[in-house]
Amino acid sequence: MTIAPERPARPTNGSLVDQFELGLDAPICLTWELTYACNLECAHCLSSSGRRDPRELTTEQCEAVIDELQRMQVFYVNIGGGEPTIRPDFWHLLEYAVEHQVGVKFSTNGVRITPERARFLASTDYVDVQISLDGATSEVNDYVRGAGSYDMALNALQNLQDAGFLDAKISVVCTRQNIGQLDEFKVLADLFGATLRLTRLRPSGRGADVWDELHPLPEQQRVLYDWLMANGEDVLTGDSFFHLAAFGESLPGLNLCGAGRVVCLIDPVGDVYACPFAIHEQFLAGNLLADGGFQEVWQRSELFTQLRSPQTGGACASCQFYDSCRGGCMAAKFFTGLPLDGPDPECVQGYGETALLAERSIPAPSQDHSKANATRNQPIMLQLLTRPPISDCAESPLAGYEPGAPPGGCCS
């Protein structure tokens, strides 16, 4: 890790957003991915998860991280993965964190939320459960998350409700396929006594491979914005949609990029990245095992210090909406090959579409824990995408089919 020189004194006045841009002594929103192992193979996985990494933090190392978070007064942590609940020590670490004044919100696909675990969760304080669901119907959900994943999520929600667990979260990544289901998601959430949480699809991890097909169309961005303006008070969004603020009014929630300022990510091997959507060496601040602990990385890494220094609007500086959207999401720009000081690829003023047409090169991933061989859980869409066409111009569904020939080609 490169250490930054001492930071200069900061002004004591100014708005909260101004203060956030200069960074905090500890993060507000810390995501900690406990494992790269996962039972599912979602097409858009941010962290390209699938297989456990042999270097993943041990139970003792995880406890030491929690001890440090307690000392830093990080009051709660968002635990994810991979699928965190398939780590054998997950339930132990959950209790350990809560006992050390570090509240836990964990994201899960529901695989281990049995009736018994649901009853345990209902008996705890300071634990929030977030079930991932990317379609209000199995058809839409399983398309990206894999066969059976919708039933798994709803089963988990049912178990939580039956156990008396109050206010679970249903976490939805907004896609072209599910923007039309926002009302249905709300109905589902109400049915399970849950709160809906909407997040933005990022072109990160395997998401880079499917972003062109899944990201909401420009007119859908407007639908989403209008829906959030009407329903936003009852729906969680974190800082997902601040790029939509350029439609006019700011949405409820934090309207700025928190990366390295109020937000960061600890990955399963202890690497600290600027945000959960930026798992790439470009946004790697340091490693908490190699660089003297999390506090040292958070407070002194050169990358985070740079992210907390005043930013210029670059190509966006002359746009009248720059103060609203602040140029959008750094990770979305980076993983679509756009310059970081230009428009967001989904800029609602349309500058992103223009930028995407220009010459750009999409960065190669710096890690990939995807399963080497597809399992039955892999979403069908990837099987279609990975099968090479007979030829570039053979559009006929019967291309390559020869009556009487041995089975093969596209139907094998």
Partner 1 sequence: MADIEALLGEPWVLSPSVALRPEPFGALAYHFGNRKLTFLKRPELVAVVRALGEQPDVRTALRATGVPEAEHRAYAEALLGLAAADMIRPRGVAA
Query: Which residues are at the interface with partner 1 (CB under 8 A)?
Result: 10, 12, 16, 19, 22, 24-26, 28, 73, 75-76, 101, 103, 125-126
Q: Are 270 and 56 a contacting pair, CB within 8 Å?
A: no
Candidates 278, 327, 325, 322; CA nearest to 304 is: 278
The two structure tokens encoding residue 294: 């999390």
Minimum Å distance from CB 70 to partner 1?
A: 11
* Amino acid letter for position 260: G
Closest to partner 1 by CB, 233 vs 392, is 233
Q: Distance between CA 243 and CA 326 in Å, rounded?
A: 8
Candidates 45, 49, 29; CA nearest to 173 is: 45
* Amino acid letter for position 198: L
Closest to partner 1 by CB, 25 vs 359, is 25
Closest to partner 1 by CB, 19 vs 349, is 19
Minimum Å distance from CB 191 to partner 1?
A: 23
Minimum Å distance from CB 19 to partner 1?
A: 4
Closest to partner 1 by CB, 27 vs 379, is 27
Minimum Å distance from CB 16 to partner 1?
A: 6
Q: Are 206 and 44 a contacting pair, CB within 8 Å?
A: yes
Q: Are 55 and 42 a contacting pair, CB within 8 Å?
A: no
Closest to partner 1 by CB, 299 vs 349, is 299
Beta strands in 191-269 (DSSP E): 195-200, 263-266
Edge-first strand order for the sheet with 169-174 is: 195-200, 169-174, 127-132, 103-108, 76-81, 29-35, 263-266, 271-273, 284-287
Minimum Å distance from CB 26 to partner 1?
A: 7
Q: Distance between CA 348 and CA 137 in Å, rounded?
A: 28
Closest to partner 1 by CB, 125 vs 392, is 125
